[in-house]
Structure 1
Amino acid sequence: MTDPTQDPRFLQNPYPTYAAMRSRCSVQAVPTGSGGHLSYMITGYAEAREALSDPRLSKDTATFFADKGSRRRLHSAVAHSMLASDPPRHTRLRKLVTKAFTTGAVAELRPFIGRVTDELLDQWPAGERFDFVADLAVPLPVIVICELLGVPETDRPDVKRWSGELFAAGKPDVIDAASHAMADYMAHLITAKRRHPSRSLLDRLISARDGDDRLNEEELVSLAVLLLVAGHETTTNFLGNTLLALFQHPDELDRLRKTPDSVPAALDELLRFDSPVSTATFRYTTEAVTLGGTDIPAGVPVLIALGAANRDPKRFPSPDLLDLDRDATTHLSFGHGIHRCVGAPLAKAEADIAIRAVLTRFPGIRLAEPPDHLDWRRTRLVRGLASLPVLA
């Protein structure tokens, strides 16, 4: 048995592979890693949505790997993050985070997002070739989340590098080292914030209360790292995937060019069409589970392919067509259930502002390379372009 997602063509376009897998069975065993270990991959929408909210699928990564004699040395603040925890701990942490990470805070950021976007686009002389990923999709969300958390501008290049290294597929030593660098940096920043408070999100996390409950030091570091990484990595992919999808559907691109105020309503369909998160973060069965007619034994990893679920024709007819009139609000790109992404409003605000600005300021923007020549990030967890050359 071979892992179909390791085919080199998969990174370029995973959807034919997902469709072929789903046609055989919406939940099936696939080999992962070495040693003949099996995981179960979910490619059907109904099964993915069910799995995302099934309490028998644990996200307690540290416990799972502790039993396997793992030699990994992730920083404990990263290994025990909110994203890798179950209730009641997850419930407690999320409640404290949502008190600080409000929609009001995102609304207050919109003018700042707009100014940063304009400053970045000011560097694009019309008619020249640029890399949309390097020149906008990467720096915009990095600047925004660092501003939100209160990361000084001089530290942002290091933060961006460490964040990228956390997604270094097949390089566990690099990932582990980056987790320590990022966590250590955040611990120092939290100490500095206590000495010199401001109005940043990190300050609000430090002071967050739920009755007598508050975040301890490791939880603060853990949440700061999580929000920083999640706050820009997936948004970068979202922006690049969105513009490429529009290039590949010129009628829909032309529609948004003519009516840029319709961009917000189009974002859910664009998220559904090419999810910036291809596979949901790690889960494993704590007991035997049956999903989609497939029996999954206890103690095995379950890979929920969000990108595949979003292209399930049982839920979204003609799923390989980008249709901006489609009601795609039930897409799974931000997850579902108690672990749904808390940063979804920020990601959509950034995409709304950035895509509108690009189409308004550069109505003739076009792809500078054939789509099959584009370079994609080499990881199964997220789906994003390494670069997107355009002529503005």
Structure 2
Amino acid sequence: MAEPNGADASVADLRDPFGRITNALLDSFAGTENSIDLMADFAMPYAVHCACELIGVPERDRADVTEWLDLMILAADGRTDRGACRELTGKLAGLLTERRVYPAPDLLTVLSGRLTEDGEDEVVRGVVLLMALSVETTFSFIGTLFHSLLTNRAQLSRLVQDESLIPGAIDELLRFDGAHNISSGNRYARQQAETALRIVLRRYPGLRLNTHPSNIEWLTSPFLRSIKQLPVRLAPSNADCDERNH
């Protein structure tokens, strides 16, 4: 009997926080008939959870933080949702205060030590901005990365066959797309993109667009320019995908 898609996730992936986040999201798609919007269902929660991991937002708060950042970054009218911004600001302010009493090995604890020196409002605003920029950068870049590959089947096939080519593919995209604020030295942003792409292609090597490329729309907001929706089919193999298309 074949193992579930998640069963062959490597131990290294499970130890890596970005790998754990990727696998958990992919596991959650079970029963969705393998058809998802890669942007809303994967890229946004992945970007938020990665930012939470780096900054130190507890697991218990991540669903709320995802909802607020989604409203802030993906506002339909191009304006940040002020209510969501207030909610996120209040939550982060509370976490910073909590870290002064119960420190943890995270960025929030480091910043909590500066509340008196720099002023609480300034520190909280800085954390909100850091989270928003981190999320929009990862969200936008992952969308552009997958869009580029899904509309170039030959390149996608090469990466499926040899995942050691993934870092080079990311470098190439960064050279030709200057809209993303990811430098070669930003190891966290690059690691997030590499990890997501590697695990998605490993678990779903038959990944395909679930719409015609001409139907894909771009989103412009105060924070970013990115793919609006990216419907995909999570085919576990090329053969499975081909059978469905006949």
TM over 0.5: same fold? yes
Instruction: Pick from 184, 197, 201 the counterpart of residue 355 of structure 1.
Output: 197
Aligned partner of 1:136 in structure 2 is: 42
Instruction: Pick from 19, 31, 34 the counterpart of residue 114 of structure 1.
Output: 19
Structure 1: distance between partners of 2:92 and 2:144: 30
- Over the residues paired in the alignment, what is the CA RMSD in angstroms? 3.0
Q: Which runs of 5+ in 1 are unaligned?
A: 1-108, 275-305, 308-332
Aligned sequence identity (%): 36
Structure 1: distance between partners of 2:87 and 2:28: 32
Aligned partner of 1:194 in structure 2 is: 100
Counterpart of 1:223, as a letter, is G
Shift of 1:376: 2.8
Q: Is the 8 A contact 2:136 2:223 kept in 1?
A: no
Aligned partner of 2:163 in structure 1 is: 260
Counterpart of 1:135, as a letter, is D
Aligned partner of 2:125 in structure 1 is: 222
Q: Which runs of 5+ in 2 are unaligned?
A: 1-13, 235-246
> Structure 2 vs 1, CA of residues 359 and 341 (structure 1 numbering), >3 Å: closer, same or farther?
closer
Q: Is the 8 A contact 1:375 1:387 kept in 2?
A: yes
Map 1:169-318 onto structure 2 (within 5 A): 170=77, 172=79, 175-207=81-113, 215-274=118-177, 306-307=178-179
Structure 1: distance between partners of 2:28 and 2:136: 22
Q: Is the 8 A contact 2:144 2:227 kept in 1?
A: yes
Structure 2: distance between partners of 1:184 and 1:381: 21
> Structure 2 vs 1, CA of residues 133 and 166 (structure 1 numbering), >3 Å: closer, same or farther?
closer
Structure 2: distance between partners of 1:113 and 1:205: 23
| Higher gyration radius (CA) | 1
Structure 1: distance between partners of 2:16 and 2:223: 32
Normalised to the residue count of structure 2, the TM-score between the two structures is 0.77
Q: Is the 8 A contact 2:78 2:220 kept in 1?
A: no
Question: SS in structure 2 opposite 1:236?
Answer: helix
> Structure 2 vs 1, CA of residues 171 and 364 (structure 1 numbering), >3 Å: closer, same or farther?
closer
Normalised to the residue count of structure 1, the TM-score between the two structures is 0.50
Across the two proteins, how many residue pairs are aligned to each other?
219
Deviations 1:325-369 (A, max 9, x none): xxxxxxxx327xxxx798x32111011011011111111111010
Question: SS in structure 1 opposite 2:103?
Answer: coil
Question: SS in structure 1 opposite 2:57?
Answer: coil
Instruction: Pick from 356, 368, 373 the counterpart of residue 215 of structure 2.
Output: 373
Deviations 1:232-290 (A, max 9, x none): 1221111111111011122211211111012112212223444xxxxxxxxxxxxxxxx
> Structure 2 vs 1, CA of residues 157 and 252 (structure 1 numbering), >3 Å: closer, same or farther?
same
Shift of 1:153: 2.6
Instruction: Pick from 144, 148, 152 the counterpart of residue 54 of structure 2.
Output: 148
